[in-house]
Structure 1
Amino acid sequence: MSRQLSFCPQQEYELIEYPGRVVNTDRMLSTLGGIVNISKVLGDEKKRLELRFHPDNPYNKPTFGDCTDKSGVLLSVTVRRHKRDKSRPPQHFVRVLGHCSRSFSFESLCDFQYLPLWHMPKSDDSCAASELMYALDQVQPRDVTDLDYFKRPQAQLLCLPELFARVDIVHGGHYRIDGTGDGQHEVLGVSAKSTYDNHDVVSFNMQDTFPTQPDAQILKRLKVKYVSDEQFARVKKLFDDIPIWTRIALLYESGVTNEKLKCIIPSLAFYFSNGPWRTLYVRYGYDPRKDFKSRHYQTFDFRLRFGSGVSEFVYSRKSAKQKRSSTAASEEMKSELVQNIDYPYFDEHKLPRSRQCMLRYCDVRLPKIQEMLEKIPTPLTGAVCNERTGWLPPSFDAQVRQIVCATISDLLRNHYRKEHLTAEVEAVPQTEGEAEAEEEEYYIEDEETQEEDMDLDETPANENLVDKNIEQLLNNITS
């Protein structure tokens, strides 16, 4: 047996793996939408190739072919056999016609194919079973000039769904089989496995004990993540000084990156998912229910109701991080009025860092609020905190919220008044000659006129209007 291999000029082809035996090429192309539709799909890398088993039937969903990267070579093999001497081995001539770099394969699910069929009784025997008739011409007109379609009476109703399946991609389901239980005391819960980020998530209550030490697996993960001793010591010192922290305060005070802090926190503290200290990290072994000083670290959830006075300054936390990189002058001016998005405290002379701030009461650096915390009477020996309000009175959070809202209102009121006066001064430009002419006319007037002008300057006529506009802007500050 002899073989001969020959090469031809490199020609690139497109491979379509048609899911069927092709007998008629024209009919095969019509199921793919024709040459024009195939050319459009081949020219676009994102389009899928449609295959309709009934090209003229609009009541079926096509099967889609996806484009995949696949290398291939198109070969032409010719076999020549000796007619007289059958014992001679055949000769093979192989030619390389071209290559392909991608392929369209139909590996997705195929939906049900609906046909417009009507049950029609047989004409010869009415008692016999009815037969199906393809009634596409009865359901839709042949073309735009088929006016007889509107005159034909509709014998039967035809309601076919547009599609049956919502997706055509197979998703494998992985089911967890737990044979430890007997099935008698099954409780619905979260099926996701806990990771080191949320390993010690504790629900606050008055009966259960809180964790006193981390899990052994957490300490192993701490070594895998390559956390240095210096970084771990910084965060540990913060928990030794203060037993309860917010995540943003730990980032600010420790200077450790967020990725490293995610590994360090589970080895030092657990997380409250609800209760008076919700969303806070508490040091292992510390029970805030038994310490009256823990009132300073309770959660203060402050949210801004966005009216026209605040929305132009304070954004959501996600939007604020995106706008932080902006170097526009307006953003620089606003940054002087609003706290930095990574600043964990609330100061008296700046707006909150975001629309919703999860703070501790000690993070609200207003003297009046800190005095209120100190004046709360010490409970009797053996007293326990409340499951909802902790060590604070029931209406304490509402009073603190009113004080913070009043502080924000005063800050915005002063800002808008200053901005309004600056705009009035810039709106009346004067040249040096005009200013000198006005000074000369002013000195010519008598003393009574000068006194009247001085009174008018001291009390501008539009001051009341400015105050009304500012009050209207501050109506919807917060709840």
Structure 2
Amino acid sequence: MSETNPNAALAHFNRQTLDFTLKELSLSGRADGDVAARGGSSSVELRGSKKLVCVEYPAVVKSVEKMLETLGGEQTVSKTFSDPSRRLELRFRPQDPFCHSVCGNRLPSTNLLLRVRRRVRKKDPKDAEIQMDIVGIIATTYKFQGMVDFQCLAVNSLNGEDTSLYDKIILRKAESPAFFEQDVPNFLPPAIFSRLDCPVDYFYRPDSQQKLPSAETTHVRKNLIGLARARRQNNAVFVSFNDPSVPTECLPAAKQNWARFCMKESDRRAEANIREMFERRPIWSRNALKANTNIHPEKLKLLLPLFAYYMVTGPWRCLWVRLGYDPRKNPDSKKYQMLDYRIRCSSKYGHTVPNIPVKAKRSAHNYSLSITLNKAVPQAANVMDSLSQDGPSTSRAPLPVSYQLKESSYIFRDGMLPPHRQMFYQLCDLEVDSIKDVIEQNSGNERVCDERDGWCVVGTTDKLRDLISAMIRKVVREKKPELPQVFQKRRRIGLIVKFPERDVEEEEGECGIKDDDDDDDDEDEEEDEFQPSEGSENEMETEILDYM
């Protein structure tokens, strides 16, 4: 961020008033033969110029160091610049954890940063010569165009006096229990700040996009409260496990919606491909569809309601089922059931939460407030964007874009690690012989379809999770054969202090890697997080929101 000092100088220079009469303007680096008349114009070739980033700081800069501190430092500014969708956050009180930031928009610019020198004749101060050097080109500018939100200070106002509460509510070091038992006045910051920082002319008028046809008003009216955007008209049909029947045809609005966007030959090929896939296999997960096709995600959202409905609960939840096909009445649909698997994290599995070899899909540490997203940059492509090379093009053909997922996004084999900590597998995509044996143990004798285990034997879901966990544990130990011994050493020291008469061999046996038999005995005690449960609905809710 060597550009910061010139940018601050530029912001300071823009506030100055040059009180002189311009008599001659010369640009350094100009060729000798390029002589321009006084008061005329001159062309300058900008080769090898630095590319700079300008920050229009909304205050008078007196200390560059303090200014950078309010922006989070050079590292934070560089990280923000590397992501075009991020806005630059500014905190006027950087040491205050309750400080609410003001955000700057990232905008493209075509400006120059100039270094101006003024030479004045001693005899005639009004006779000045100005020389300017081009320091660099400013292609990106951050502008703080929004309003600063309200700030909440941790103070107690009593009898006209304000008393700071920061030392009483902020934990700066390890404190004794008396610190937590002391009486502190109530400090309740707002649960949420404004989602917008730019004023909008609302005038209490109804949103035109929220107007619904009269036929849909009764059905959707109860869901209109609290909407922050218009409902997505993708016309998917949702079915629960306890519903008496399943739909046999798609909604007419779904056909009309797809007809508006099916304009190219590639769209018709995609439609035929999805139809053929559901004829060949009646139940699919969205990841499996994405791994076997190369269709834009926005168009896939419109295609799926034409051929399938979405199961919300039961052994086929989070899956798309062909219209007219009821898996609850067909035992052959057992192989298409869904298994919600989550990697178990504990020291006995060779990976704890900090050093787990598989990343999580979502993390609370990476959560971004809505005001920190840049509204000025172009958003993601919509359905109407060109997705293929249909027709001739006068410009250079763009690079082909692939929307196809990897095979590991929906298939599990022995010796591989899942790409995420939580995975939704269909039983037919678990390509392991021992897993298939557990699934097929009651083949031909299916009698009742259970809401949790489907057509499988009761308890099959837990057995499959145990098998997959054992395979993943084996892979992790092969990749990281030496487990961290920090906690084991501390435990051994504690044992020596408490029981000095115990043998060294016994102590070392307790500190090393346990056998599988010992693991089974202590399994309930050492489990930390990501326990297998009835199943998380995070992924399902994410997919449902695409259609609401």
Q: Calculate the TM-score normalised by the size of structure 2.
A: 0.42
Larger RCO (CA within 8 A; separation ≥ 6): 2
Q: Calculate the TM-score normalised by the size of structure 1.
A: 0.47
Larger radius of gyration: 1
